[in-house]
Amino acid sequence: MLDLKYLRKNKEEAAKKLADRGVEPGTLEALLAKDENRRALIAKVEEMKAKRNEASDKIAFAKRQKEDASDAIAEMQAVAKEIKEIDQTLADLDAEVKEEAAHLPNIAEADVPVGPDEDSNVEVRKWAPKDYEGRPHALEEAPKWLKPHYEIGEDLGILDFERGAKVSGARFLYYVGDGARLERAVYNFMLDEHRKEGYTEMITPIVVNDSAMYGTGQYPKFKDDAYRVQDLDQTYIPTAEVPLTNYYSGETLPAEDLPISFTALSPSFRKEAGAAGRDTRGLIRLHQFNKVEMVKFAKPEDSDNQLEIMTKNAENILQKLGLPYHVITLSTGDMGFSAAKTHDVEVWIPAQNMYREISSVSNTRDFQARRMHITYRNEDGKLELVHTLNGSGLAVGRTVAAILENYQNEDGSVTVPEVLRPYLGGQEKLNKTPHH
């Protein structure tokens, strides 16, 4: 949620910055006009309440003097009726202002590239292991035997999309045998790395209430993308960011504890409503997938630094797995709703001959904390909103896809990255294994 005081004081600047985020012209002006009306009514009702108190005093005085108080009573009743009407108008206006403000995205930081979509994103850096150029699938002209990950998985008998669709519908799957073991190895490795980096590991609820979804900015704007529990104020989480960030909702954190870092593995549920026809096969775009999430609570002056640290934490996983990637800064038109600045880490997918997002690390500044009322006491002892940050460390299914494609061999087997072998009992290759 944006600060209404900031919007009032910096109307022109805010309108321009919101236009950069795709907000329709006139939206802010309409909101601020309602807000002005609301504030004028607050002043009026305060004046009326003072009149009512005055009339009340007159009635009490008249009664003590045994005088006729009917005029004063009539005046007070008229004032009380008007107050009731204004209070109702005010309640309606309050709700409208809150609802409209809740649909405004965060304002981008000054160094974020301005542009309408992903074409305006800026590459920051790229990385590949030293031996990567020597791998056949890194060549510009891919060998004939190169396969997409879903074919590799199906040939090895470790990914079963057909039965996933039979039981649950499109974009669901079963991981089988070594596929399940590989997925488990990947997320245990990620959690162990983040623990070494100072993150506290959590296991969170996977069902949250509407207030939690509102707090992180998924509601009200993206309600249609969520898997909701019928007839209940509950939603299956689209990411562990929601329960992790809401952990401290309504609380004041000790300044000396900041920054606080959490990590959690959780399933994520997304309808992918806006992605019809995209990535219909494979692990790239599922309705249910595992993700290791990172969340931080930081002091305002430290949050930009923490964004860089979190991005490096995500990159560390890919470097240790030996997977090529690049880091991009998202443009104003491509950033998520709550973000003020976002670095995407995109992993190389050889069969598609392109980088695909595997982690999105965002600084939301005080946007989420304002909705959730998470504060700390600054050096002057004043309450101030914390800054919240979140990022994938990483999306597990996409990591598995990248491993299968980047480590595939001509004979159809897949070499297991060295760092994962201890998690797989020393296994060095995934071969076709029979299962029932």
Residues involved in catalysis: 270, 285, 357, 360, 398
Amino acid at 294: M
- Binding-site residues for L-serine: 239-241, 293, 392
Amino acid at 24: E
**Whole-angstrom Cα distance, residue 116 to residue 333?**
4
CA 98-101-105 angle, to 5 degrees, is 145
Contact 283, 394 (CB under 8 A): no
Contact 206, 266 (CB under 8 A): yes
DSSP helix/strand/coil, 76:
helix
330 CB burial (10 A radius; 0-12, 13-18, 19+): buried
Q: Please name the residue that has the structure tokens 């890919």.
A: 318
**Whole-angstrom Cα distance, residue 269 to residue 74?**
60
Q: Which of 347, 295, 351, 285 is nearest to 317 (CA)?
A: 347
Q: Which of 157, 111, 114 is nearest to 19 (CA)?
A: 114
- Binding-site residues: 239-241, 270-272, 293, 357-360, 392
Q: Residue 161, Cβ neighbours under 10 Å: how many?
A: 19
Q: Please name the residue that has the structure tokens 């004081």.
A: 9
Q: Which residues pair with 388 in a beta bridge?
A: 297
**Whole-angstrom Cα distance, residue 118 to residue 172?**
27
**Whole-angstrom Cα distance, residue 103 to residue 95?**
13
Q: Which of 147, 142, 146, 145 is nearest to 159 (CA)?
A: 147
- Binding-site residues for ATP: 270-272, 357-360
Contact 10, 103 (CB under 8 A): no
DSSP helix/strand/coil, 148:
coil
